[in-house]
Amino acid sequence: MSVPLPYYLALSAVLFTIGVVGVLVRRNVIVVFMAIELMLNSVNLTLVAFSSFLGDVTGQALVFFVMAVAAAEAAVGLAIVIAVYRNKPTVHLDDINILKW
Amino acid sequence: MNLPITWNDVLALGPIAVVFGGTLLLVVLESIVRKASPLMFWVTVGVLAVAAGCALATIGVAGTAFGGTVLTGGYASYFALVFSAGALLVTLLSPAYLLKRATAFTEYYILLLAAVTGMMVMAASNDLVVFFLGLETMSVAFYVLAGFTRQSVTSNESAMKYFLLGAFATGFLLYGMALVYGTLGSTSIAMLRSSAAAHAGEPLFLVGLGLLLVGFVFKVAAVPFHMWVPDVYEGAPTMVSGLMSTGGKSAAFAAFLLVFGADVLQSAAPIREVMAVLAALSMIVGNILAISQTSVKRMLAYSSVAHAGYILTGVIAANADGANGVMFYLLAYTLMNVGAFGVLSILETASVENVRIDDLAGLSRTRPWLAGLMALFMFSLTGIPPFAGFFGKYYVFTGAIGAGYTWLAIVGVIMSVVSAYYYLRLVVVMYFQEGSPDQVGTATGIGLASLVLPAIALLALGLLPSTIVNLTMQCF
């Protein structure tokens, strides 16, 4: 007997919420970045679940695009972290605060 | 799903194919030519000029390609024209600016064309997957461009903030797409619009639309997701901020108008009410906060939040007037804001990285041309006739009144009056205050020419707005 669709949706909603809370409360850049990845992967879970239950392949195709884009974002994001670290040795978001009104 | 892709599909892409081909060409050229060679710059100018011509030639024939996932001609070509015009002006102003900041790296042009490719794909998307790809192509290129002056800590910080918040917003956008896909069983935007009424009662569909709205509101820089705008625009290289605030915003609005079309807004009433409140808040918050700024770039950043509110009014109207208004407004806004950032990029020097309003005192005597052009862009941003900015506002507010959102139009008009305070203060400082702005930079011939062009275009559009409106009318 297969697991019903609402279970998948509930799990991915919980994972998405954990990701959002992680972005909002953690102050280490790398951890914030991991929380964002968690959000993207919970979306992937939703897409695969819908795709499977609808019997439609588009959702799974979108998952591949999301993974490719997440990889591109990871490359650029970590490069930005290194660029910041060269000028100011910190990965703590509260220390990166020159710009403010 | 069976999609035989033919050469006709590729040819139908027109300007997108030109710019994407240009991006690949630059990647190859970059490894061949000398670092200081101006060839990369001229190829970029050529590619963008060809793309603009191609967009102009295909604007009359609307259709779809790649199995109905991509729009061609018409709407897509109109926005391709806006993006290539904006990017062309930014490119022309860039070399002198990059030299001043000691970052004249040729990778800049590759990233710029990649960003423009993404924008064009967004405005041509007829499928949520295509929209997502365009959005990310643009955003990832912009994350790098924002941090392009990598020795500068402010530029680094700007890239970091833009990246984290941009990726965060992408998460919401994707979750919205997933839920919409789950309820509709398709990612087609055309189908989203046609079957919105049938699904309007389903909570999952409304939650999906709401999450999509969060992502869009972030990308167009409207309240309440506007906090990144001033920091990013101030820290990023000035011409990059110029492109982000015009091309990036226009592309997001082009896709916004496609996804949240008239059918969707009319059947999802709660979403429309939320958007109306956000538009009003953007106009109020953007304009009020712009008043208290001392840095010109931050002032322009908050004003860009206010303009997002005006343009959002046209989207909410969900009628022909509103849609035409949005399209006209985005063209006018691109011209006047690239112009304003262009003047700033010329005034900046290695020592004056961030031009303050007081630095402009007495500019009319030492740099009469730059002061005159800046004044013209400020008049247009305020919305004073006969400049194009006035007709942009006129069309979106007419649309809002036609759709029964009279209160929103009233808020818009009142806030335009408030905005006159800070735009015209700049003019007053330049013309009527004594000062010795000798430390600011001077324009080169090519720089001045690329500022005079948008100025003439703004005046022409303001005197003959019907030429553009006739074009935009055909797109629906």
Residue B161 lies in a domain: yes
**Polymer length in residues for chain B:** 476
pLDDT 10s digits, B5-26:
788 788 888 899 999 999 999 9
B19 close to B51: Cβ distance less than 8 angstroms? yes
Contacts of B151 in chain A (CB under 8 A): 87
Contact A40 B174 (CB under 8 A): yes
Contact B168 A101 (CB under 8 A): no
B437, pLDDT greater than 80? no
Residues 10-49 of B with CB under 8 A from A: none
The larger pLDDT score, comparing residue B212 to residue B352, is at: B212
B320, pLDDT greater than 80? yes
pLDDT 10s digits, B197-212:
899 889 999 999 999 9
Does the beta carbon of B297 lie under 8 angstroms from any beta carbon of chain A? no
- Contacts of residues B32-41 at CB distance under 8 Å and 24 or more positions apart, as own/partner, are B33/B106, B35/B105, B35/B106, B36/B104, B37/B106, B38/B95, B40/B106, B40/B109, B41/B91, B41/B94, B41/B95, B41/B109
Residue B1 lies in a domain: no
- Contacts of residues A74-80 at CB distance under 8 Å and 24 or more positions apart, as own/partner, are A74/A33, A74/A37, A76/B140, A76/B143, A76/B144, A76/B163, A77/A33, A77/B143, A77/B163, A77/B164, A77/B167, A78/A33, A79/B144, A80/B143, A80/B144, A80/B147, A80/B156, A80/B159, A80/B160, A80/B163
pLDDT 10s digits, B44-86:
999 999 999 999 999 888 888 888 899 998 899 999 999 999 9
At A6, the pLDDT band (50, 70, 90 cuts) reads very high
Q: How far is CA B210 from the centre of its chain?
A: 22
Which of the residues B121, B138, B150, B156 would you substitute to probe the A interface, choosing the one with the greatest number of A C-beta atoms within 10 Å? Answer: B156
Computed from CA positions of residues B90, B93, B99, B105, in that sequence, does the dihedral angle turn out positive or negative? positive
pLDDT 10s digits, A84-98:
999 888 888 887 777
Q: How far is CA A54 from the centre of its chain?
A: 25
What is the distance between the alpha carbons of residues B315 and B5, in angstroms, rounded to a whole number? 33
Give the nearest chain A residue to B156 (CA atoms).
A84
What is the distance between the alpha carbons of residues B384 and B380, in angstroms, rounded to a whole number? 6
Q: Which domain holds residue B244?
A: 7-473
Residues 6+ apart with CB under 8 A from B275: B213, B260, B265, B312, B315, B316
Give the tokens for residue B218: 């972030």
Contacts of B145 in chain A (CB under 8 A): none
At B2, the pLDDT band (50, 70, 90 cuts) reads low
pLDDT the model gives residue B308: 96
Give the tokens for residue B19: 């710019």
Contacts of A76 in chain B (CB under 8 A): 140, 143-144, 163
Query: What top-level class would CATH report for the domain A5-95?
Result: mainly alpha
Domain boundaries along the sequence of chain A: 5-95
DSSP label of B71: E
Contact B160 A56 (CB under 8 A): no
List, in sequence order, every beta strand (DSSP E) within B299-457. Answer: none
Q: How many CA atoms lie within 13 A of B378 on its CB side?
A: 22
pLDDT the model gives residue B34: 79
B353, pLDDT greater than 70? yes
Residue B184 lies in a domain: yes
Please choose, from the candidates B350, B327, B351, the residue with its C-alpha nearest in 3D space to the C-alpha of residue B255.
B327
At B4, the pLDDT band (50, 70, 90 cuts) reads confident
What is the distance between the alpha carbons of residues B396 and B317, in angstroms, rounded to a whole number? 8
DSSP label of B126: S
Cα-Cα-Cα-Cα torsion B304, B307, B309, B314, nearest 10 degrees, comes to: -140
> How many domains are contained in chain B?
1
Give the nearest chain B residue to A80 (CA atoms).
B160
Range list of H helices, B33-149: 39-58, 74-100, 107-123, 128-146
Task: Tell me which residue in B129, B143, B147 faces A62 most closely, judged by beta carbons.
Answer: B129
| Encoded amino acid at B132, one letter | F
- Please give the average per-residue pLDDT across A75-79, as a whole number: 95
B65 sits in which H/E element = strand B63-65
pLDDT the model gives residue B76: 94
B168, pLDDT greater than 80? yes
User: What percentage of residues in chain B have a pLDDT greater than 70?
Assistant: 99
- Please give the average per-residue pLDDT across B356-375, as a whole number: 89
pLDDT 10s digits, B276-302:
999 999 999 999 999 999 999 999 999
**How far apart, in Å, are the Cα atoms of B354 and each of B67, B267, B292, B295?**
48, 47, 16, 7
B473, pLDDT greater than 70? yes
First to last CA, chain B: 28
At B403, the pLDDT band (50, 70, 90 cuts) reads very high
pLDDT the model gives residue A101: 46
Residue B2 lies in a domain: no
What is the distance between the alpha carbons of residues B367 and B346, in angstroms, rounded to a whole number? 11
B349 close to B439: Cβ distance less than 8 angstroms? yes
The larger pLDDT score, comparing residue A47 to residue B3, is at: A47
First to last CA, chain A: 58
pLDDT 10s digits, B137-161:
999 999 999 999 988 889 999 999 9
Please choose, from the candidates B219, B164, B232, B175, the residue with its C-alpha nearest in 3D space to the C-alpha of residue A36.
B164
B377, pLDDT greater than 50? yes
Contact B168 A39 (CB under 8 A): yes
Q: What is the mean pLDDT of chain B?
A: 92
Give the tokens for residue A63: 């998952």
Give the tokens for residue B327: 């399209």
pLDDT the model gives residue B250: 96
B427 sits in which H/E element = helix B406-432
B336, pLDDT greater than 80? yes
Does the beta carbon of A23 lie under 8 angstroms from any beta carbon of chain B? yes
